[in-house]
Each structure stands twice: as C-alpha cells, then as structure tokens.
C-alpha cells in the first residue's frame, strides 16, 4: 500500500479489520452485523471457490453447445395468442431472425415471429395419432361378430372378454356427423346446398332468431302501470319518475384499421368498446336497449341519435347521472323532465341541500346499476371479457337476448 493516498489506505484498512474474524466469537464484525461474510481478494484464492468457478464455466459451455434449434422448412406447431382460437396452430419455419427467434408462415400465408419456446416440432407419430381420432368407434373382430344366436350370446360375450385381455381394445372418438348418425340426431345442414354447418355457422344463424323471440320481453313504458308498481323509495319525492337511464360499455378487441380504433376508443374505459344506452323502470324492468355505438360517442349524443325518444311521452320524468346534463334541453322540447344530481362547479362546494339531493338520487339510480350488474353475469358481457371482433356483428342481438332473460328473472326489488 506504499505510495497510495490515505483516501485508499484507510478504506482498505477498515475493510480488512471488519472482515477479520474475532478469536472469541469466530465471526467478523461485518458478519455479526449483516449475517454474511464480506468477500475479499483472499476469498478468490480459496480452493473451494476455484472449484465452483470451474464448475460454473463447464455448465455454461455445455448449455451453449446443446442449444435447441429447428430447421428451415420444417413443419411445426406455433403458439396462438388470438382470442377464441385454438391454443396451437400448424405452420412452417421460414428462417431465423435472432438467436432463438424464428419466422413462421401460417397456413393462411401470414408471416409471424415466435421464440423457440413457443414452437413444437411435428413428428409423424403425433400426426398419425391426431388423424386416427376421426375414425369411428370400433372393437376387435372377435367382439363384433356379424351373427349370433340368442342361446350362444352369453358364451360368445364371455369368450370375447377373455380374448380382449390379450388384445388392445381400440376406442376412438367419432366426429360430429357420425355421432349424430349413431344417436339418431339430425345434423344441421344448409338449406341451399345441403352442406353441414359448423358450430360458428349455427351460432350466427340462430342468434338473430333467438333475439326476435326475446325482444317482446323488453317492456314498453306504461305510466299507469309504473305508478301502480312504484317502489316505496320513489313515492315521496320522485313519484313522477318513469325510467332511469345509463350507458353500458362492452370491451372489444383492437380493430386493425385506424379509423375504427378511433371511433371505438373510450376515454372512460381506456379501451376499445361498444357503447349501449339502457333504460329501466323504477321497479327494475328493462324497457329500452339501444343499438351499439363506438365507445367514442358521448352520453348526450347517444340519447339524441338513438330512438329512445320514441319510448317517451309528454309529462314523463327521466332520471339520469350528471353525464346527461346536456340532454335536458333536448328532452324539454318533448315535454319530458330530466332528474339528475346538481352540477358541481370547479372550486365550489355543494350546499347542504344539494348534497342531500345528490345522495337521494344516487340511492335511486342504483337500480339501473343493479340491472347492468345482471347483464355482466353473462360470459360475453363480463366487465373485462374482451370480445372477438367477429362477434361484434351479433352483439346487438346478444344484448337483446340478455335483456329479455333478465326481465323474466326474479324482480330486482322485493
């Protein structure tokens, strides 16, 4: 340490002092304080440390030599991350784009990138096993003899059971058409060319039919009936309220086109959504559900552009949230009164009367929130269920079916 400055000498001296074990405790001051030994230059020369370093180098060299790879042009299964599709899809390796990344060509011709951990090699045995699953259910020939007399039936079955112990009984899963033929179930077919419909085709074909059946269960507003069934909480001050309105947003996948991304973007949800206007009576029955709009639309605009005004009659009263404050002028032209919480001015506090009124309206508006909560119980309409873009075209019918089912359930207000 000769020739070094004191700024270097003192720290080195203190390090050696604090790393030296005491003769009484057999531990250094640093080990007593931090429950571990300080590493010094002498530790690197210890035989155990040299062996550990040599072993680590051998492991590192072996891992670099035996790395996984796949060949160009090889058929593989790649991990599929799209919503609603199968977990693994077939593809072909086009080339490497990194140490462990590969370019994959899908069956539809699209080029994607995947890590080696997201690829599975296809072997002939696995392909054969996959193809064999489409064959019908069958047993060995000893079991499926063509003709037996009634007297020999039990004896033959006993012989077959004994023979089956020495043979492998092959039980394979038939496809949809053969299952339907075995069970006597008619297979859904296209009425024009007689082709068998897929599950997706059956879904898209029947959803509009079910919606047309459930649409009459969405009730229309009847002032006399509403007044007769008015809940106790409304009768004191808000007995004129005919319906409560709010908006419902369903998350969807991000569209590929920029204009659709902008139109469906919701600043409130911070996601791409489809927005609906929903209205329910004071006793919790849904009386109106609008068509779907892009999440960018405002609450005021969706009231003005939808046909919700056709459900209203003069001298009716509509309850809403603060977000519908600009609808008041539009409803007033039709002779409809809007009941909403008092507006909040920035920098000012609500008076005692305004705060009490806000609390009263919020306690009554909770009924439309309970209706929306029932809608959210359906898997397709759950709060964070990102809907596939292929299902957007039937989302209006799905919402209609859900609303009709809710109206025939038990009443929200007991």
CB burial readout 229-243, b (16+ within 10 A) else e: ebeeebeeebebbbb
pLDDT in tens, 23-77: 888 888 988 888 887 877 777 666 666 666 776 776 666 655 555 677 888 888 8
- Please state, in angstroms and rounded to a whole number, the distance separating the CA atoms of residues 152 and 116: 60
Confidence band for 193, pLDDT divided at 50, 70 and 90: low
- Please state, in angstroms and rounded to a whole number, the distance separating the CA atoms of residues 388 and 82: 9
Whether the domain at 75-132 and the domain at 211-407 fall into the same CATH topology: no
pLDDT in tens, 212-241: 999 999 988 777 787 788 888 888 888 888
pLDDT at residue 290 in the model: 92
Confidence band for 15, pLDDT divided at 50, 70 and 90: confident
pLDDT at residue 131 in the model: 43
CA angle 131, 134, 139 (to 5 degrees): 110
pLDDT at residue 23 in the model: 86
The phi and psi torsions of 249 (rounded to 5 degrees) equal -120, 135
Q: Which CATH number fits domain 211-407: 3.30.420, 3.10.450, 3.40.1350, 1.10.10?
A: 3.30.420
- The arrangement of strands across the sheet holding 101-106 comes to 111-115, 101-106, 88-96, 75-79, 119-121
Query: Beta-carbon neighbour count of residue 121 at 10 Å?
Result: 13
pLDDT in tens, 313-335: 888 899 998 888 888 888 888 88
- More reliable by pLDDT, 259 or 123: 259
Q: Domain locations in the chain?
A: 6-62, 75-132, 136-143+155-187, 211-407
What tokens appear for 170 in the block? 């092959």
Confidence band for 139, pLDDT divided at 50, 70 and 90: very low
pLDDT at 344 over 80: no
In CATH, what is the architecture of 75-132? Roll (2.30)
Share of the chain above pLDDT 90, in %: 14
Tell me the mean pLDDT in the region 330-353: 83
State whether residue 189 is helix, strand or coil. strand
What tokens appear for 374 in the block? 């029932």
pLDDT at 143 over 90: no
32-36, 139-143, 288-292: lowest mean pLDDT where?
A: 139-143
Name residue, tokens 């079910």. Answer: 210
pLDDT in tens, 161-186: 455 444 444 445 555 556 556 555 55
End-to-end Cα, the chain, rounded Å: 89
Q: 8-17, 37-46, 389-398: which has the highest mean pLDDT?
A: 389-398
The phi and psi torsions of 271 (rounded to 5 degrees) equal -160, 170
pLDDT at 142 over 50: no
pLDDT at residue 159 in the model: 52
- More reliable by pLDDT, 147 or 61: 61
Q: 197-206, 243-252, 345-354: which has the highest mean pLDDT?
A: 243-252
pLDDT at residue 178 in the model: 62
The mean pLDDT of the chain is 78
Share of the chain above pLDDT 70, in %: 74
- More reliable by pLDDT, 100 or 68: 100
pLDDT at 365 over 50: yes
- More reliable by pLDDT, 94 or 346: 94
Contact 126, 88 (CB under 8 A): no
pLDDT at 293 over 90: yes
- Please state, in angstroms and rounded to a whole number, the distance separating the CA atoms of residues 215 and 404: 6
108-122, 221-235, 239-253, 376-390: lowest mean pLDDT where?
A: 221-235
- More reliable by pLDDT, 293 or 126: 293
What tokens appear for 175 in the block? 């496809």
């Amino acid at each position: 340490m000769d020739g070094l400055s004191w700024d270097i000498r003192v720290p080195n001296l203190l390090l050696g002092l604090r790393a030296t074990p005491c003769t009484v405790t057999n531990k250094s001051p640093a080990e007593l304080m931090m429950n571990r030994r300080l590493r010094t230059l002498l530790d690197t020369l210890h035989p155990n440390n040299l062996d550990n370093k040599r072993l680590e180098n051998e492991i590192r060299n072996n891992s670099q030599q035996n790395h996984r790879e796949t060949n160009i042009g090889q058929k593989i299964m790649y991990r599929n991350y799209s919503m609603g599709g199968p977990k693994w899809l077939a593809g072909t390796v086009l080339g490497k784009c990194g140490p462990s990344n590969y370019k994959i060509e899908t069956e539809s011709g699209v080029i994607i990138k995947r890590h080696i951990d997201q690829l599975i090699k296809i072997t002939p045995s696995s392909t054969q096993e996959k193809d064999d699953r489409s064959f019908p259910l069958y047993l060995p020939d000893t079991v499926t003899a063509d003709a037996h007399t009634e007297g020999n039936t039990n004896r033959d079955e006993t012989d077959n059971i004994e023979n089956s112990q020495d043979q492998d009984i092959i039980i394979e899963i038939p496809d949809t058409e053969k299952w339907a033929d075995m069970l006597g179930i008619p297979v859904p077919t296209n009425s024009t060319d007689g082709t068998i419909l897929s599950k997706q085709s059956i879904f898209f074909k029947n959803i509009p039919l079910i919606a047309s059946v459930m649409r009459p269960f969405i009730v229309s507003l009847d002032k006399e009936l509403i007044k007769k069934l008015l809940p106790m909480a409304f009768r004191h001050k808000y007995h004129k309220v005919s319906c409560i309105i709010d908006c419902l947003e369903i998350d969807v996948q991000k569209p590929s086109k920029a204009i659709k991304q902008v139109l469906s973007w919701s600043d409130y949800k911070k996601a791409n959504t489809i927005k609906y206007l929903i209205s329910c009576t004071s006793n919790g029955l849904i009386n109106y559900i609008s068509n779907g709009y892009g999440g960018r639309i405002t609450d005021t605009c969706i009231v003005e552009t939808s046909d919700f005004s056709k459900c209203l009659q003069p001298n009716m009263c509509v309850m809403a949230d603060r977000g519908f404050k600009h609808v008041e002028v539009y409803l007033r032209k039709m002779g409809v009164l809007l009941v909403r919480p008092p507006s909040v001015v920035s920098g000012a506090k609500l008076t005692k009367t305004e705060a009490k009124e806000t609390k009263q309206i919020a306690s009554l508006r909770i009924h439309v929130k309970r209706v929306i909560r029932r809608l959210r119980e359906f898997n397709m309409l759950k709060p964070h269920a990102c809907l596939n873009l292929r299902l957007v075209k039937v989302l209006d019918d799905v919402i209609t079916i859900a609303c009709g089912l809710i109206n025939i359930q038990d009443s929200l207000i007991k």
